[in-house]
Amino acid sequence: MGSCARAAFATALLALPATGAAGTDELLRTAIAMAPTEGGSQACRTAGAWLDPATGTRLPAEQLMASSAKRRIVLLGEIHDKVEHHRWQLHTLAGLHAHQSKLVVGFEMFPRKVQPALDTWSKGKSSEVEFLKDSRWREVWGYDSGLYLPLFHFVRQFRLPMFALNVDRELVARVGQEGWRAIARGEREGISDPAPATDAYRRSLAEVYATKREVLLEGSLPQEGDDRRPGHETAEGPDLAAILESDDFARFVEAQLTWDRAMAEALFEARGENPDALVVGILGRGHIQYGYGVPHQLADLGEESVAVLLPVETGAACQALKPGVADAVFVVASNEDSEGQPAKPRLGIMIEQAEDGIRVLDVLEGSVAEVAGLAPGDIILRAATFPVVHTSELIEIVLRQAPGTWLPLDVRRGSETRRFVAEFPSRFE
């Protein structure tokens, strides 16, 4: 990856098209056999059903939850800024808890160094404000905490152990810039060598890599399942063969594998420390779909009793399901159908984290940023008077903007520091 985009992807992409499902056990196969025959197209029209992604047939929820609760590890995927995905995770977590009261829940949202804050919260010894502050939520994740707090309160209410799955983004960024082998063992946060990516995983990552010039700050980071997913190429199409052979892309893959391996090891360790419990992982769907990422690394560690469950939106996304994406998917309302999914403010820039701020890589024509006067090469230092050091901090500030508001941005251009004002439209499309 080029020097500009490499850091942006290494530090900003939290989930990439990736990862996957273990084989169904006997109970799940029985559930599939019991399901009424219904074409995928018909089943995808209405939210509220579990589906077998291979056939599109409905799965009885009770049998599916019972089957999944007998696995050692269950992975619940998400697209980070989608309300319905988090609602689904909460209800699925409750369903699993009904069958297995001993749960241990891991979250991608937290690096390991904030584990003490998670322990204090899950034991009921800190307030919500204290928890978000002590876990450094704004710095390490940056998405609206309201999306995740129902999950955190569920864990707290039942006094379930809660653990961090992630590592510092700085480590992943270094791998993306220097390569895994260039990082001294003592600086790898204890992570062992990842299992090599499969050819299918490498190709899916190459498609993401090919779209890097389309990465825009649109109130959320680009993720699997949105309109910037692989396959949305230019008329000429990406030169995937050249990408697959490039050294920059090799480091890009190593950065993703670092994330996958770190989370797999955290899940594996939690399973070893809690042999009588079901370990549940809450993480981006890109790390778990198709078996490419975390499940692949878990298998390399010797753990194959893994269930992958995913939400899928009604309509085209559901109808495009492919066999092997997960053990089962649950149909949720699409953005158009779901309440609580308002359109988001869009600044319209491609960014990367620089040493002293947020560097603008590209500005979308006709965007709020272009009207404000931002240009490639600008370094954003402050937004709404708050210093922005991490990309997540800028994203969180943009997310808070209401229609019709003005957002002051302090920007260094060359040797000068100037203030630009981003004026958001009275209605978000």
- For the residues of 305-343, what is the DSSP string, one character each? -EEEEEEEETTHHHHT--TTS-SEEEEE--TTT-TT---
pLDDT score at 7:
36
Token pair recorded at residue 228: 């910037």
Token pair recorded at residue 152: 């955190």
Q: Distance between CA atoms of 222 and 366, rounded to whole angstroms? A: 20
Percentages of the chain per state (helix, strand, coil), in multiples of 5: 40, 20, 40
Q: Please identify which residue in the block is written with the tokens 């299918």.
A: 200
**What residue spans define the domains of the chain?**
7-170+254-332, 349-423
pLDDT score at 389:
75
pLDDT score at 225:
40
204: left (phi over 0), alpha (psi -120 to 50) or beta: alpha
Q: Distance between CA atoms of 171 and 352, rounded to whole angstroms? A: 16
Q: What is the dihedral of CA 261, 266, 272, 273, to 10 degrees?
A: 170
Q: Distance between CA atoms of 393 and 329, rounded to whole angstroms? A: 32
Q: Distance between CA atoms of 105 and 160, rounded to whole angstroms? A: 7
Token pair recorded at residue 73: 């590890």
- Residues of the chain scoring pLDDT < 50: 1-39, 213-236, 338, 340
Token pair recorded at residue 409: 């941005």
User: Which H or E run includes 108?
Assistant: strand 103-111
What is the identity of the amino acid at 326? Answer: A
The alpha carbon of 77 is separated from its chain's Cα centroid by a whole number of angstroms, namely 8
pLDDT score at 296:
97
pLDDT score at 47:
92
Which CATH number describes the domain made up of 349-423?
A: 2.30.42.10
Q: Is 276 helix (H, G, I), strand (E, B) or coil?
A: coil
CATH fold of 7-170+254-332 reads Rossmann fold (3.40.50)
